Chains A and B, each alone.
Chain A
Amino acid sequence: MTTEPFPDQAPARNDLIARIGAGHLALAAVLLVFPFVASDFFTTQIGAYSLIFGMLGLSLMWLAGYGGMVSLAQITIAGIAGYTVAIFGENSADVHGFGWPWWVLVPFAVLIAALASALVGWVSVRTSGIYTIMITLAVATAMFYFAQQNYTLFNGFPGFAGVKAPVVFGIDWRDPMPFYFLSLGVAILCYLAVLYASKSTFGLTLQATRDNQRRMRALGYDVTMHKVFAWFLAGIIAGLAGILLVWFNGRISPGTINVGAAINVLIITVIGGLRHPIGPFLGAVVVILMQTFAIDIVGAERFNTLIGLLFLVIVFVSPDGILGLWEKAKAHLAPGSLRSDI
């Protein structure tokens, strides 16, 4: 290429746009401009919050979409990271709060979450389908009650308050705009990682195991080890989301990881769609917009009915969630897609 006498710039640039995908570029532009035009409330309560729950959904999408393992324990794993940050970092509860610096605390919390996730995976990989859901639900429930009743480690019902995002490079990452961009950066990183991994040898192995475990064994693969490792990776994503979540709320308590929250993550992921890593983020935006505004309009009681109805409609109309609707709509419109070959 370098020896070409007239290196042709324009086609190369078009190639790059084609590779990244026009949809991705448009989306990136919207996400970058968004905090400058939106109010602080929208930037954090809708923007950052959707990104965080989108990541939680992404960790489930990785397990369920590629691995065929539906987990209800993703919020639990995020909670473990959140609790780790509260216990080993700083909090205002006068319990623990070892004050570790963020650059030790964050990797440590992510590692703990990933290991906890691998453990949940190891317990559940011998099951499949509805039994995986049941086991992970049991884990989520047990963890909720344990955190609520244990005061020595989790400070029981009140949990920990006063957990703050650090000040780094002179920027207070608690402020709406920095926190939004922090969440955006981490979310994009996780999103691209999943996109890349989906076509990696490991990603293909995971999908093949989902499709036919028996044949994978016969081809010489250690199916159990691969699945547990998929849980480990999902734990990294959920752990990062958990850290952002505890910084977002400024606190963590058993309420953060109750069964309602666990089901919320599942609903977000299913509404968004399991076929592509962008799905959970779409689902998060829709559900969180509804959560924020439908409560004012129809009241908290009816809100759950509304979400439930939306869930049913989506599942019946388009088993692939909003993504599936999008694909259907696209068939009628001009080509141009979020999918890309990165």
Chain B
Amino acid sequence: MAKQDTNLAASRLEGTGACALELSGVARHFGALIALSDINMRIAAGERRAVLGSNGAGKTTLFNAITGDFECTSGRIQFFGEDITEIPAHERIRRGLRRTYQISQLFDGLSVLESVFLACRGVSRRRFSLLRPMDRDANMAQAHSILHAVHLEDDRDLLVSTLSHGRKRQLEIALALAGAPRFILFDEPAAGLSPTERRDLVAILNALPDHVGYIIIEHDLDVALRVSKYVSMMHNGRVFKEGTPEEIENDAEVQAIYLGGGHG
């Protein structure tokens, strides 16, 4: 744990007081379909934000736009004061931006430890090596501490394909913690988890170092409440309401569109 803190602390220096993420007028169209329109968001460094919205609201598309997986149709994205709108996805990763996927994107043929090791190597300078990693390899040490942080230590030698759904979701998070993340986008990490696994997830997220901010997409308001202090509500590609969880829960418009309309 101590080791991970030093790794993560390395990224803290740059981020103090700044605005981590700032979206202005971001839109994304798929042909005639407007998946995102005029998104304006400001998220402070270290802030933890929940994004709620029914299926098809554009939440995942928002993540894809921020990470660079999809180009924006219009609008600008700033990451710690730098305009990253035109920067390719892998460059954004090097700047400390991470994400997880709604549908787990894992390596079935590798072990848990090998997967996290590769994630750590991917953001280091020594991505390419014909040698086997040594036990005292720095990336290996980091992989161990990340596995500790996501409660996967005991499963480190298991083949990923043999993991339960819940464990796979934890590994999905582990891959996003590699290197020195400054800001993480969690796409429905709690989907399909049992109540126990949800509690575990909340503990993992709350134990992240303070300076690491994130956006979490979450259907379950209870989980969102426990891991974030501020909520953005999305519908039809727009953010139509922002506020504290209490404000959101009691808002008439939210209840009409989201809570009343059934969970998507």
Chain A residues in the interface with B (C-beta under 8 A): 196-197, 199-202, 204-205, 207-208, 210-212, 214-222, 226, 229
Q: Are B105 and A201 in contact (CB under 8 A)?
A: no
Do B117 and A211 touch (CB < 8 A)?
A: no
Q: Is the interface of B mostly helix, strand, loop or mixed?
A: loop
A235 to chain B, nearest CB (A): 15
The answer on a CB contact under 8 Å between A220 and B107 is no
- B133:A219 contact, CB within 8 angstroms: no
Say which residue of B106, B107, B128, B175 sits within 8 Å of A202 (CB atoms).
B128
A219 touches B93 (CB 8 A): yes
B77 to chain A, nearest CB (A): 17
B118 interface hit (Cβ, 8 Å): yes
For chain B, the count of residues having a C-beta within 8 Å of the partner chain is 32
**A201 proximity list for chain B (CB < 8 A):** 118, 121, 126, 128-133
Complex-state Cα separation, A208 to B120, whole angstroms = 13
**Chain B: which residue is nearest A202 at the CB level?**
B130
Q: Which residues of A contact B94 (CB under 8 A)?
A: 220
- Which single residue of chain A is at the shortest CB-CB distance from B94? A220
Whether B117 lies near A221 (C-beta < 8 A) is no
- Residue contact B89 to A211, C-beta cutoff 8 Å: no
For residue A209, give the distance in angstroms from its CB to the closest CB of chain B: 9
Extra contacts, 18 of them, besides A204-B110, A217-B90, A220-B94 (Cβ < 8 A), are A197-B130, A201-B118, A201-B121, A201-B128, A201-B129, A201-B131, A208-B109, A208-B115, A212-B107, A215-B175, A216-B118, A218-B89, A218-B105, A219-B93, A219-B122, A219-B175, A221-B127, A222-B127
Interface centre among A196, A216, A221 (most CB of B within 10 A): A221
List which B193-226 residues lie within 8 A (CB) of chain A: none
Q: Is B238 an interface residue (CB 8 A)?
A: no
| Partner pick for B105 among A210, A215, A221, CB 8 A cutoff | A215
Within 8 Å CB of B253, what residues of A? none
Chain A at the B interface: SS class:
helix
| B119 at interface, CB cutoff 8 A | yes
Q: Which residues of B contact A200 (CB under 8 A)?
A: 129-132
**Chain B residues, Cβ within 8 Å of A219:** 93, 118-119, 122-123, 175, 178
A210 engages B109 (CB within 8 Å): yes
Give the CA-CA distance A218 to B69 in the complex, in Å.
9
Please, what's the 1-or-0 string for B20-52, where 1 marks a CB less than 8 Å from any CB in chain A?
Answer: 000000000000000000000000000000000
Q: How far is the CB of B88 from chain A (nearest CB, A)?
A: 10
- For residues 114 through 171 of chain B, which have their beta carbon under 8 Å from a beta carbon of chain A? 114-115, 117-119, 121-123, 126-133
Residues of A within 8 A of B133 (CB): 201
- B108 on the A face (CB < 8 A): yes
3 interchain residue pairs of minimum CB distance: A219-B122, A220-B122, A215-B105
User: Could you tell me which residues of chain B, from 178 to 197, have a CB within 8 Å of some CB in chain A?
Assistant: 178
B59 within 8 Å of A by Cβ? no
Find out whether the CB atom of A218 lies under 8 angstroms from the CB atom of B99. Answer: yes
Assembled-state Cα–Cα distance A204/B143 (Å): 15
Partner among A202, A216, A218 whose Cβ is within 8 Å of the Cβ of B129:
A202
Q: Which of B90, B93, B107, B178 contacts A207 (CB 8 A)?
A: B107
Closest to A193 in B: B130
Please report the C-alpha to C-alpha distance between residue A200 and residue B131 in the assembled complex, in whole angstroms: 5
Question: Bound complex: CA of A207 vs CA of B109, how far in Å?
Answer: 7
B93 to chain A, nearest CB (A): 5
Assuming the contacts A204-B110, A204-B114, A219-B119, asked whether A212 and B105 have C-beta atoms less than 8 A apart, the reply is: yes
